[in-house]
């Protein structure tokens, strides 16, 4: 396992829509992505952030608080649950030192395939929901700065 270089904004790959994984073996890449995420140190990392234009992301909402729970998500689909919204400050490993306040659905269902090929469906809230939505946005070429009128004040 190794730490991969993180693609930084304004690299054009960060604005591309990723192709499905569709059953390919992504175990080695996922392990490298987890190593990279922990080394960064972040709580989520998507394929395009390491130059892999596939629908894969890794996340671990609790490791910084001492409760690691890594999740590898292949071909994820996010579905909002309810109308409640939550606003949180989000950072991005590809846009270092530029946090943005984001408003997103407070609860979501995350459907994905894990690294063993098993289909999973879980409900997420709080930081986990925000992280999953942030990483899924990367797979669709969306960044936290896209809706900001002036993302980088002088």
Tokens 């997420």 sit on residue: 124
Which is the catalytic residue, given 90, 115, 128, 135? 135
Helix (H) or strand (E) run with residue 91 in it: strand 85-92
Would you call 135 a catalytic residue per the annotation?
A: yes
Measure Cα distances from 137 to 2, 4, 44, 47, 126 in Å. 25, 20, 12, 11, 17
State residue 32 phi and psi, 5-degree precision: -65, -40
Q: Round to whole Å and give the CA distance between 78 and 87.
A: 18
Q: Which residues contact 90 (CB under 8 A, 6 or more apart)?
A: 99, 100, 101, 102, 130, 134, 144
What residues are paired with 57 via a beta bridge?
46, 73
Instruction: List residues with catalytic annotation.
Output: 135
């Amino acid at each position: 396992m190794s730490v991969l270089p993180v693609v930084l904004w304004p690299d054009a790959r960060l604005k591309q829509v990723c192709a499905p994984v569709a059953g390919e073996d992504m175990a080695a890449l996922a392990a490298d992505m987890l190593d990279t995420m922990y080394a960064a140190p972040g709580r989520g990392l998507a394929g395009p952030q390491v130059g892999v234009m596939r629908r894969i992301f890794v996340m671990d909402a609790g490791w910084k608080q001492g409760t690691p729970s890594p999740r590898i998500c292949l071909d994820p689909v996010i579905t909002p649950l309810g109308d409640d919204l939550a606003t949180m400050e989000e950072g991005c490993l590809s846009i270092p030192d530029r946090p943005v306040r984001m408003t997103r659905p407070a609860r979501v269902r995350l459907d994905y395939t894990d690294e063993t090929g098993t289909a999973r469906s879980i409900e997420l809230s709080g930081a986990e929901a925000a992280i999953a939505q942030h990483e899924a946005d990367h797979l669709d070429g969306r960044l936290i700065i896209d809706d900001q009128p002036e993302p980088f004040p002088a």
